[in-house]
Amino acid sequence: MVKAVVIGAAGGIGQPLSLLLKQSTLISELALYDVVNAPGVAADISHINTPSTVQGYLPADGGLEKALKGADIVVVPAGVPRKPGMTRDDLFNINASIVRDTAIGIATHAPKAFVLIISNPVNSTVPIVAEVFKKKGVYDPKRLFGVTTLDVVRASTFVSEANGASEKSLEYSIPIVGGHSGETIVPLISASQPSVSFDQSKIEALVKRIQFGGDEVVKAKDGAGSATLSMAFAGARFAISVLEAAAGKARTEYSYVDVKALGAGEWSSVVGDLTFFSVPVKLGKDGVESVGAGIKANEYEQGLLKVAVDQLNGNISKGVAFVADTAAKAGL
Ligand SMILES: NC(=O)c1ccc[n+]([C@@H]2O[C@H](COP(=O)([O-])OP(=O)(O)OC[C@H]3O[C@@H](n4cnc5c(N)ncnc54)[C@H](O)[C@@H]3O)[C@@H](O)[C@H]2O)c1
Ligand SMILES: O=C(O)C[C@H](O)C(=O)O
């Protein structure tokens, strides 16, 4: 019996993500929580004839507690999305407290669940969750994940398109490490599987497109939000990998995890003193089993990694400071 919870389930990501999770036979109970409209979304999805039961919850009458009780996995796309001209960091002022308060709820009612954070800015919101969990005495770095799968999905698509892949089903696997915003997203195209060969200017254009793929969608949606459908696809893929690994299957995914606590392994020389960094993680019964093998970055990619590490330092400190500064007010 597996209970999955979506926090922010009535939103642009939350609805299609809940739909995709409803299709998984690994999940027996789906709890959909939002501050608005969750019962309607749950009623709609509950008519789909897959085995899981579906229930929607609002904040009234202890809805968050009821949604989270007994959860095995909690996926969090709660918070506001970008509009054109904004960076992900511009969302910090609103989303930091939404994520902090959600984390307090998870620490209290589902302290053993796998927790997957989608809300931006991921580079800072994941450290916020870690700090809350530490204060509540329930932090298990093996179970906390920042979802960076959309960058992996985009890279695969963009590289495949650029390569003119005739076989459309051929999936390019490009290591994407670092964080989830602009220059903190580091594609290591030199390690693509299968390998690809482009001239340097093409590689640089592809790197920019992967790093700023989110902006493409924000611009095209013209004020109506950011990526939702591709994010739901990526979030469901990641959640299902975590559940499949928990059920005994070998799974490896890229994720923004606490490399300091987990041990960065062959990535140590890249991440230095950073706490959070997206790396390949081998998933197992209890979440992260180990950080995957290092990948040889060429000189150009080493330059990208340096820029990412510098920016991530600031993003992580900002999340940590937010919890320290607001802990008393938040009852932590
Ligand atoms: N990690 C990624 O790759 C990635 C990709 C796309 C979007 N995002 C981020 O995901 C977040 C959600 O995006 P969206 O397009 O779904 O936004 P949205 O506005 O469509 O939906 C967000 C939902 O969160 C709900 N919400 C707000 N506060 C809440 C709270 N305290 N508890 C529960 N629910 C709450 C809202 O009611 C809304 O339904 C944004 O921060 C966005 O930047 C991340
Ligand atoms: O671009 C955004 O703000 C949303 C998301 O992080 C994305 O990469 O699409």
* CATH number of the domain within which 11 lies: 3.40.50.720
> Strand 3-7 to strand 29-33: parallel, antiparallel, or no bridges (unpaired)?
parallel
Q: Is residue 130 part of a domain?
A: yes
Q: Which of 82, 90, 210, 215 to mutate to test the pocket of ligand 2 (most atoms within 8 A of CB)?
A: 82
Give the CATH number of the domain where residue 201 resides. Answer: 3.90.110.10
Same domain as 300, residue 185:
yes
Same domain as 153, residue 255:
yes
Q: Is residue 97 part of a domain?
A: yes
pLDDT of residue 73: 98
Q: Are the CB atoms for 79 and 8 separated by under 8 Å?
A: yes
pLDDT greater than 60 at residue 299: yes
Distance 137 CA to ligand 2 centre (A): 31
Same domain as 238, residue 158:
yes
Same domain as 162, residue 122:
no
Same domain as 132, residue 163:
no
Q: What is the mean pLDDT of residues 276-292?
A: 97
Q: Any idea what DSSP says for residue 90?
A: G
Amino acid occupying residue 144:
L
Amino acid occupying residue 309:
V
How far is the C-alpha of 203 from the C-alpha of 316, rounded, in Å?
A: 29
pLDDT of residue 168: 59
Provide the number of structural domains found in the chain.
2
Q: Are the CB atoms for 276 and 178 separated by under 8 Å?
A: no
Q: Is residue 311 part of a domain?
A: yes
Instruction: Reply yes or no on whether 47 is catalytic.
Output: no
Take atom 8 of ligand 2 and give the residue whose Cα is closest.
214
pLDDT in tens, 18-65: 999 999 999 999 999 999 999 999 999 999 999 999 999 999 999 999
How far is the C-alpha of 180 from the C-alpha of 315, rounded, in Å?
A: 11
Q: Identify the active-site residue in 143, 180, 209, 251.
A: 180
Same domain as 257, residue 135:
no
The percent helix, strand, coil of the chain (3-state, each to 5) is 50, 15, 35
Q: Is residue 186 part of a domain?
A: yes
| Three-state secondary-structure class, residue 1 | coil
pLDDT in tens, 114-172: 999 999 999 999 999 999 999 999 999 999 999 999 999 999 999 999 988 666 556 89
Q: Is residue 332 part of a domain?
A: no
Q: What is the mean pLDDT of residues 236-258?
A: 98
How far is the C-alpha of 116 from the C-alpha of 75, rounded, in Å?
A: 5
35 lines ligand 1 (CB under 6 A): yes
Residues 6+ apart with CB under 8 A from 4: 21, 27, 29, 30, 31, 71, 72, 73, 74, 75, 239, 243
ipTM: 0.99
Q: Is residue 136 part of a domain?
A: yes
User: Whole domain around residue 111: which residue ranges?
Assistant: 3-147
Same domain as 315, residue 216:
yes
pLDDT greater than 80 at residue 227: yes
Same domain as 152, residue 116:
no
Same domain as 46, residue 91:
yes
> Strand 185-187 to strand 176-178: parallel, antiparallel, or no bridges (unpaired)?
antiparallel
Q: Is residue 87 part of a domain?
A: yes
| Three-state secondary-structure class, residue 253 | strand
Take atom 9 of ligand 2 and give the residue whose Cα is closest.
214
118 lines ligand 1 (CB under 6 A): yes
How far is the C-alpha of 94 from the C-alpha of 67, rounded, in Å?
A: 23
